[in-house]
Structure formats: structure tokens, C-alpha cells
Amino acid sequence: MASGSSQCNKIKPVIVVHGGAGAVMQEYEDRYRAGVKKAALGGYDILKNGGDAVTAVEEAVVIMEDDPHFNAGYGSVLNEEGEVEMDAIIMSGKDLASGAVSAVRCIANPIKLARLVMEKTDHLLLTDRGASQFAKLQGIPEIPGETLITERSRERWKKNQKPGSNPVASQLGLGTVGAVAVDSEGNVACATSTGGLTNKMAGRVGDTPCIGSGGYADNNIGAVSTTGHGETIMKVVLARLILHYMERGMSLEEAADEGLKYMKTRVDGSGGVIVVNSAGEWTAKFSTKHMTWAAVKDDCLQCGIHQGDNEIVPLSEIL
């Protein structure tokens, strides 16, 4: 658990990112920490230079999609046919505009395509063939699907082919990515991107691209990005549920805890969330063993993986 709050009236930009909830193997911890820190710093750089929250969360997610350690973009897990199919969503809290793609293949950055859906179409979600046609029209290069596959995700997939394998166990340590931010105007945004679950059925769409489940952003309340078992997140519409609790007066921490608790008790699901509001408060909470997260505010970087972790590094020591 970690959180922060504003000390004065002026909105200070904030970005929080996650690199997935689950159980991270110790040998990978440093790489995960480095990955979320880089993403948070990349997004914060945009906010600090007067950029908007949507651009900041997109940038942070692109950085993690390009990082082979995360289950998004390059490094995505494989479906039962041994192929990468990815989901992503982006949302602007200013006008509730959002864009999402599901089951997309052969592109490097699904989050960029989701943003184009938001900005260039009258729709909220494009899938599969229509999404790739739209990507081509927008000039997004098509790449061979195999170039998104890492040795690690291939190995995981192979293990799952063995009789008696446990797909949930083999998912451990493979992280969906997400970001939430508030810019200096007080606008909030969220973005989430994933390769989904290892060995999922071809065509399976999880929570990530579903508005209210994988993410939600509304300046009047805040922004949330989620991670965890998609089918259970969808059942409780986790991102919007947490914002609903905040609307009813709970703090960010209370709302995140309550949402995760409801998902556990009602449908036996575990996961993690990152939350901001337009006052610049933020939190990162998870009911799994681990969730990799990082946040930047007030020129200070915070990061964690285990419950209770909170490494604090002033940006002056990094830059």
C-alpha cells in the first residue's frame, strides 16, 4: 500500500503506473522495478512540461508495452494457439471520451491504437479485423506477430501444453500495465494494456478494454487502472466500483480497499488498482501477493512490489 496527498491548492501533476498484480519471482524484481520507474518518469516528464494527462498515461504505457518484462505489447503472453492477442483502453476524465481495442495482433503499441479510436472514430471499442483495418488506415505499421513474442512467454505457453498444468500459476509474474495521471489543469486520465491471460481461448477479451472494468476516468471523481483476473474484475466492474465508493465519500485508500474486498468476497477474485483524483491524491493497492507500481509527484519517485513497500527517491538523485 502507498498513497500521497496535495499540500496546497495548486494542482501538482501526478502519475502512478502499475506493472501488473500477481506474484513476482525474486530474480525479476529489479527489472520490474526499473520498468515501472522508467514508465512513471517518462509520463511525469510530459506532465512537468505542461503536457496533458492523456498524453502522459499513453507515454507511460507505451514504455511498458515496449519492455519485454511486461505482459503488454512486446512480451505479451500467448493464447492457446500460441499467438499474441492484445487488449487496451485509454480514457480522458475531462469529457469521458474513451477508446479501446480488443484481440488485436501484429501491432507494437495497442494503447496508441486505443487513443486513435478515442480521437478519430465515433466508437469506443474496435476489435480484431476491424481494429487492424483501422490501424492500417491510420498508418500504424503492421509487424509480424512473432516479433511480439519473447522466449519467456513462449516457455510459459509450452509449459501450459503439458497435461495437468495450472494456467493461473503460470501467469504469475507476468504483468499487465496501466497508468493514471492528473495534469496541472486538474484533468485525470487512465490507460491500461495487456496480452491477457496465458493460454486464453483465441478471441477471449478480458476486463482491460471494457470501460469501467480495466479503467475509468472522470474529473469529477478520479481515475483508476486495474489489473488481475479479468473475468472477476468484469463481474464487479472494478474501476467504476472504486470511483462509486469515492463518490459516496470514501477516501481513495478506503475505496480501493473496499473494491478489492468486494471482489474477493463476492467472486473470489484478486487484483490490484492505482487511483488518482483531480486534487492530486493517489494510491496503489492490491489483494495479490505483489503488484509492481511507481508514482511521481512533487519531484519525488516512489516505488514498490511487496505489500507495505515504499521506496522513495528524490528526482534530483536520478536526473
Residue 236 C-alpha cell reads as 464487479
Among 42, 99, 228, 269, binds ligand ASP (CB under 6 A): 228
Contacts within 8 Å (CB) and 24+ apart, 41-49: 41/296, 41/301, 41/315, 41/318, 43/15, 43/17, 43/179, 43/181, 43/296, 44/13, 44/15, 44/296, 47/13, 47/14, 47/15, 47/181, 47/183, 47/184, 48/13
* Amino acid at the residue 303: C
Among 35, 51, 93, 230, binds ligand ASP (CB under 6 A): 230
Contact 65, 108 (CB under 8 A): yes
Angstrom distances, CA of residue 295 to CA of 71, 187, 205, 252: 20, 17, 28, 15
Q: Which is nearer to ligand ASP, 12 or 229 (CB)?
A: 229
Q: Smallest gap, in angstroms, from Cβ of residue 77 to ligand ASP? A: 9
Task: Return d(Cα 271, Cα 285) in angstroms, integer.
Answer: 9
Taking CB under 6 A as the rule, does residue 20 contact ligand ASP? yes
Q: Smallest gap, in angstroms, from Cβ of residue 87 to ligand ASP? A: 6
Q: Is residue 150 among the annotated active site residues?
A: no
Task: Return d(Cα 140, Cα 243) in angstroms, integer.
Answer: 34
Site for ligand ASP in 253-312 (CB under 6 A): none
Q: Which span (45-53, 61-69, 200-208, 274-282) binds ligand ASP, by CB under 6 A?
A: 200-208
Taking CB under 6 A as the rule, does residue 222 contact ligand ASP? no
The C-alpha cell 471523481 sits at: 221
Size of the site for ligand ASP (CB under 6 A): 13
Q: Smallest gap, in angstroms, from Cβ of residue 216 to ligand ASP? A: 14
Taking CB under 6 A as the rule, does residue 225 contact ligand ASP? no
Residue 242 C-alpha cell reads as 472504486
Q: Which is nearer to ligand ASP, 228 or 304 (CB)?
A: 228
Strand partners, 218: 222
Taking CB under 6 A as the rule, does residue 103 contact ligand ASP? no
Site for ligand ASP in 117-176 (CB under 6 A): 176
Strand 14-22 relative to strand 86-92: parallel, antiparallel, unpaired?
unpaired
Q: Which is nearer to ligand ASP, 117 or 210 (CB)?
A: 210
Taking CB under 6 A as the rule, does residue 17 contact ligand ASP? no
Among 197, 238, 252, 263, binds ligand ASP (CB under 6 A): 197
Marked catalytic residue, from 176, 198, 232, 292: 176
Taking CB under 6 A as the rule, does residue 227 contact ligand ASP? yes
Strand partners, 192: 89, 178
Residues catalogued as catalytic = 176
Q: Which residues bind ligand ASP (CB under 6 A)?
A: 20, 176, 194, 196-197, 206-208, 227-230, 233
